[in-house]
């Protein structure tokens, strides 16, 4: 039986970070909505973590969970709102803080004898982000960590006799709660705290690894699919490529891949990707459907409408090709865990549509196979290396499903795509060729990069002795670990100067280059 940590999501922006940190401890975890704890089916659950939330525990619409489902039987860790909810529910007191407690703080006192703080420094930096604060902890709990401004920064209830109203028997497992966020980078010993909880307190055997995932997934796919024919939609990205190689390892010639060219891929990308897949031994059908996509996008400027049209057309083209494979019973996708979590956000707010999530066309009559649905992006790359895939495929930057259509502001034309392809090619090639002082290429040091054509904007320029009135191009490069948050990459000035000069000199239609220094949040990585 595979051990797992359940993370109950109360709507925090950093819930996925908790999941990633747990996975980094070679421990499987599952992020579930706050009200979806697997009652009666939790024999493999070794610990429960309650996430933060945008709500106050006093808000009428605040998310609530029945703690009696797991408190006492399984170790529990509450983070920020999770800690406040524990206190509020079990008889403590949570009140609005005089001022919002946000940013860096230092633990002034830490009970190093408590297993949660094993190996902690006495003045370790933590990250606070809350408007309420816990002014009194419930009976039976003890304070194990404080900061200058937050007395109840961390508290704990030991196993044993318990008077908590929600527990009708002895408390077999302890309860821990912290008002700071151990999952974020700015909590310097946050990884240590989570390791103490997951490994020492919950008893993880740390058996989750790329090798174990490949072994178990291949065996599961063989059992699940048997001799059935499977169709996989390829995009050229790392997720669908790894999914294809994994399926090929499991079922070989029973897999047929379809790669649709919507005309908005990077320069020469369609042929390059087809060549890569041939080397991998995959059975791939390439379809040039660019005429249809350009026709249907003509005059469309609204970003979400662009995404919807491209998603609809992709399904139509893919469906037409898939129907030719009359014995197919399964559709495989390279959907990864963050796609599923973000698309099914418990707040019900959609930031942007995901092109590979949301169900199948009913007329396809195919069952869905998602071999990577439990993996984060960095885990997908580790699986790719385990499968001995070419490194340039594994390290390929994320690229939006709608392609350059969401990197062109305004309507889409072939000429605009040509301009952006040429500018983007110079930029990405430059990132691959520039070796930084530490011997690493800039391409491998950033999470994602691309050029954006500001086709709704014109700027005056001078080339030779002539006045120009053409479009600017914005360059974007970010550093990240999971794309939920991202910072702009501090690229060297000499690199930016060289790339800017080359784009302006070589790309017809561009006379100005800018560099985007916005972080996520508040901006998103893509402009549309």
Catalytic residue annotation? 80, 181, 183
Query: What is each CA distance from 479 to 70, 217, 393, 452, 484, in whole angstroms?
Result: 38, 30, 19, 17, 11
Q: Collapsing DSSP states into helix, strand and coil, what is residue 118?
A: coil
Are 50 and 181 in contact, with CB atoms under 8 Å apart? no
Phi-psi region at 463: left, alpha or beta (left = phi > 0; alpha = psi -120 to 50): beta
C-alpha to C-alpha distance for 180 and 185, rounded to whole angstroms? 12
What is the pairing mode between strands 29-33 and 4-9? parallel
C-alpha to C-alpha distance for 37 and 84, rounded to whole angstroms? 19
Using a 10 angstrom Cβ sphere, with 0-12 exposed, 13-18 middle and 19 or more buried, the burial of residue 148 is exposed
For 137-288, list the strands marked E by DSSP: 142-147, 154-157, 175-178, 229-234, 255-261, 284-288
Tokens of 350: 């959609």
Q: What percent of the residues of the chain are helix, what percent strand, and what percent coil, each to the nearest 5? A: 35, 25, 40
- Report the sign of the C-alpha dihedral through residues 346, 61, 136, 87, in that order: negative
| 359-366 LR contacts (CB < 8 Å, sep 24+) | 360/331, 361/315, 361/319, 363/319, 364/319, 364/322, 364/331, 366/231, 366/322, 366/328, 366/329, 366/330, 366/331
Find the radius of gyration of the CA atoms of the chain: 26
DSSP code string of 363-395? GG--EEE-TTTT--HHHHHHHHHHTT--HHHHT
Give yes or no for a cis peptide into 313 (omega within 30° of 0). no
C-alpha to C-alpha distance for 430 and 506, rounded to whole angstroms? 14
Q: Collapsing DSSP states into helix, strand and coil, what is residue 1?
A: coil
Cross-strand bridge partners of residue 171: 160
245's enclosing H/E stretch is helix 238-251
């Amino acid at each position: 039986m595979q051990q797992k940590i359940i993370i109950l999501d109360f709507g925090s922006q950093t819930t996925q970070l908790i999941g990633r940190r747990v996975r980094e401890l070679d421990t499987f975890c599952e992020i579930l909505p706050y009200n979806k704890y697997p009652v009666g089916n939790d024999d493999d659950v070794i610990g429960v973590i309650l996430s933060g939330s945008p709500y106050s525990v006093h808000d009428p619409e605040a998310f609530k969970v029945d703690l009696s489902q797991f408190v006492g039987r399984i170790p529990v860790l509450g983070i920020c709102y999770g800690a406040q909810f524990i206190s509020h529910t079990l008889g403590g007191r949570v009140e609005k803080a005089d001022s919002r407690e946000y940013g860096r703080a230092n633990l002034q006192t830490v009970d190093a004898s408590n297993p949660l703080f094993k190996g902690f420094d006495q003045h370790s930096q933590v990250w606070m982000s809350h408007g309420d604060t816990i002014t009194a902890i419930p009976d039976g709990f003890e304070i194990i960590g404080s900061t200058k401004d937050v007395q109840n920064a961390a508290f704990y209830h030991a196993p044993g006799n318990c008077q908590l109203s929600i527990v009708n028997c002895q408390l077999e497992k302890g309860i821990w709660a912290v008002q700071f966020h151990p999952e974020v980078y700015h909590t310097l010993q946050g990884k240590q705290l989570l390791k103490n909880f997951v490994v020492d307190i919950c008893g993880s055997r740390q058996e989750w690894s790329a090798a174990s995932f490949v072994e178990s997934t291949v065996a599961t796919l063989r059992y699940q699919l048997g001799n059935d024919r499977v169709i996989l939609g390829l995009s050229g990205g790392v997720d669908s490529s790894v999914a294809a190689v994994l399926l090929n390892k499991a079922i070989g010639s029973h897999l047929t891949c379809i790669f649709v060219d919507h005309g908005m891929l990077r320069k020469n990308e369609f042929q390059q990707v087809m060549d890569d897949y041939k080397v991998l031994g995959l059975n791939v059908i390439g379809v040039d459907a660019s005429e249809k996509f350009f026709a249907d996008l003509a005059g469309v400027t609204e970003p979400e409408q662009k995404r919807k049209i491209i998603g609809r057309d992709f399904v139509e083209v893919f469906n037409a090709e898939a129907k030719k494979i009359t014995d197919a019973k399964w559709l495989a996708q390279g959907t990864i865990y963050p796609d599923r979590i973000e698309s099914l956000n418990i707040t019900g707010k959609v930031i942007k549509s995901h092109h590979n999530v949301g169900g199948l066309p009913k007329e396809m009559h195919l069952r869905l196979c998602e071999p990577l649905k439990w993996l984060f992006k960095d885990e997908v790359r580790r699986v790719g290396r385990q499968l001995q895939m070419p490194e340039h495929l594994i390290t390929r930057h994320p690229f939006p499903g709608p392609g350059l259509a969401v990197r062109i502001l305004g309507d889409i034309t072939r000429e605009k795509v040509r301009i952006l392809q040429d500018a983007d090619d110079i930029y990405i090639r430059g990132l691959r060729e520039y070796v930084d002082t530490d011997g690493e290429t800039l391409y491998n040091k950033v999470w994602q990069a691309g050029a954006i054509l500001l086709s709704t904007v014109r700027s005056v320029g001078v080339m030779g002795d002539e006045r120009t009135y053409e479009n600017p191009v914005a360059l974007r490069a970010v550093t990240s670990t999971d794309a939920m948050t991202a910072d702009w990459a501090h690229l060297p000035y000499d690199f930016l100067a060289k790339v800017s000069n080359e784009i302006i000199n070589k790309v017809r239609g561009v006379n100005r280059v800018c560099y985007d220094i916005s972080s996520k949040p508040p901006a998103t990585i893509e402009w549309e």
